[in-house]
Amino acid sequence: MMSTTRRGVIAAIAATAVLAAAPLGAFAQSYPDKPIRLVVPFPPGGGADTLARLVMQRVSVDLGQNIVIDNRPGAGGNLGAQIVAKSAADGYTLLYGTNGTHGINKWLYKQIGYDPQKDFQPVTKMTRIAAMMVVRNDFPAKTMAELLALVKANPGKYTFASAGNGTTSHLSMEILKQTAGLDIQHIPYRGGAQALADLMGGRIDMMLDVMPNTAPQAKAGRVRPLAVSSAKRLESHPDLPTIAESGIAGFDVVAWDGIYAPAGTPRPIVDRLNASIIKVLKEPELRKNLIERGSEPMAGTPEEHAAYIEKELQMWKPAVEKSGARID
């Protein structure tokens, strides 16, 4: 039989645990009770900013609180990520992050000012954004398989454009070159618009860039689309084959985005945000809008996104190292 003293000790411990949990539970239930700040570490009006606003404006309605977009561009997204990493872990300052801030920059920059894994609590991945391989309209190859054969037969002859050293459009091509054993000259530009302009003008041979940039030009007939970089064909372009099915088995290189809270944010708050984002990404109108832009909704659990970040960090590391790209 348990002694009176022992029962008293157990009861005291249980009461202490309940009291300790009560403030957190009450806080989580009332969250959010004031506007949330979402740091978007890229300029207003760009592709990332547009995607963040499309999704999070609907999340704002679902949560019943304003989500204020705070654009903090600089250093490829590092500046904004630093701000959130150093913010209070209370759910009121969040980061819109990408494969740049949480996959590439750690290897590209000498110092980024934050740890993409230790300094953040992933809330969820939002979308995957495939890239499209496009070529100038008079390029000899009419399919991706023909392009691969042509480049292999003519090492160093052809060129590819990118939005700049270390960008997704640069490193995705470096991964393709490394995987397929290709020799293609890299011509970096200061931004994707100028790169695409020279491709459309016939001064560059090819480019592998995200769908929001390339798909409109392909649709208008200004460039010729050959394939997409995702593992599966896209719902928005079902007739366009993947690079994987064109001869590079297993190829799956995409851009992506997600929402992050500072490390240490209480799990009930993370779960509240996660549930809201998953809910709005299922809305037919938003889903249709995202798919038309080349973005595939891919929300999941915080654990799934944390595992995905680890995988992506290991994929981008050799691409950056072998490319020679480095920003001090």
Contact 288, 110 (CB under 8 A): no
Contact 96, 40 (CB under 8 A): yes
Contact 97, 48 (CB under 8 A): no
Q: Which residue in 182, 194, 190, 224 sits closest to 206, CA to CA? A: 224
Place 1 in a pLDDT band, splitting at 50, 70 and 90.
very low
Q: Which CATH architecture has domain 130-246?
A: 3-Layer(aba) Sandwich (3.40)
Task: State the pLDDT at residue 13.
Answer: 47
Q: How far is it, in rounded angstroms, from Cα 111 to Cα 119?
A: 15
| CATH level 3 topology of 34-129+255-323 | D-Maltodextrin-Binding Protein; domain 2 (3.40.190)
Residue tagged 């654009």 (tokens): 71
Domain layout of the chain by residue ranges? 34-129+255-323, 130-246
Average pLDDT of the segment spanning 271-297 = 95
Contact 178, 171 (CB under 8 A): no
pLDDT digits (tens, 9 = 90+) for 226-277: 999 999 999 999 999 999 999 999 999 999 999 999 999 999 999 999 999 9
Please tell me if the domain spanning 34-129+255-323 has the same topology as the one spanning 130-246. yes
pTM of the model: 0.86
